[in-house]
Amino acid sequence: MRIGIVQTNPTFGEVASNLARATELMETASADLWVLPELFVTGYQFVSREEVRFLAEPVPDGPTCRALVEYARRRGCHVVAGLDEAEGARCYNAAVLVGPSGLVARYRKVHLFAEETRWFDPGDLPFPVAQAGAAAVGLLVCFDHLFPEAARTLALRGAEVIAHPANLVMKGYAQLTMRTRALENGVFTATANRVGREARGVQTLVYTGESQIVSPRGDLLTRLSAHREEIGVVEIDPAQARDKRLNRFNDRLADRRPEFYADPSSPAR
């Protein structure tokens, strides 16, 4: 199975051209699963909830989701992408997994970061795992990387690949944590970050690039540059993520002791 990550530099609000640029990059190679950045067609730095509403699209009937499904159908692949999703009066920083037959799974970001907490509604769907060709794929979005419970939930639900659309501004953090998430859960992780900068609010955001794919052993299979739009494609064997053994005595999931993991803030039994 071939996994591809796409690293773009979207212009805020230019949905059609941002989609065209991402598609242009994907056309230069072949992959069974592509992972695109968070909010890849809208840009990230919203300055009001009204902007979020204006650029939000329904899932799966919005133009971006339909275009991704059409691409997946034409190329015989699956695509994960971050979108500004509208549902009624609510807006979500969301991710979708689509394939040739349409929408496969969606996720709404649970751990909102910084000013996202002002513009987006918090996620209200379970962490999803769905089959995408040869692999079971789980979805996270950006800041979810800092919460080990999120990736562990996906692993316990059978994820073999964690697709991670992102717009990272804290240099090096997610590149480190997603290697750890891969190692501690015995899964592949594929982080698609963006590059460039946005200066639409009181703060200039500089995106860190360095999108990466990591093996279940925590090995870096590919890492992209910090500044350029580009893609990376690697061949993986999803079966490697099905064997959680560290040695003949230890298993990353079977050795868990959940009875000792209670939140210390919870009342004692």
| Catalytic residue chosen out of the listed positions 51, 142, 160, 229 | 142
Question: For this structure, is 244 an active site residue?
Answer: no
Residue 197 forms beta bridges with which residues? 206
Active site residue 142: yes
Catalytic residue among 85, 109, 210, 229: 109
Q: How are beta strands 129-132 and 102-108 bridged, if at all?
A: unpaired
Q: Which residue has the tokens 């230069």?
A: 28
CB 192 within 8 A of CB 37: yes
* Burial class of residue 222, CB neighbours in 10 A (0-12, 13-18, 19+): middle
- Is 109 one of the catalytic residues? yes
Give the pair of three-digit tokens for residue 108.
């709404």
Dihedral sign, Cα of residue 216, residue 217, residue 222, residue 227: positive
- DSSP per-residue string spanning 27-88: TTS--SEEE--TTTTT-S---SHHHHHHH-B-TTTSHHHHHHHHHHHHHT-EEEEEEEEEET
Instruction: Give the active site residues.
Output: 38, 109, 142
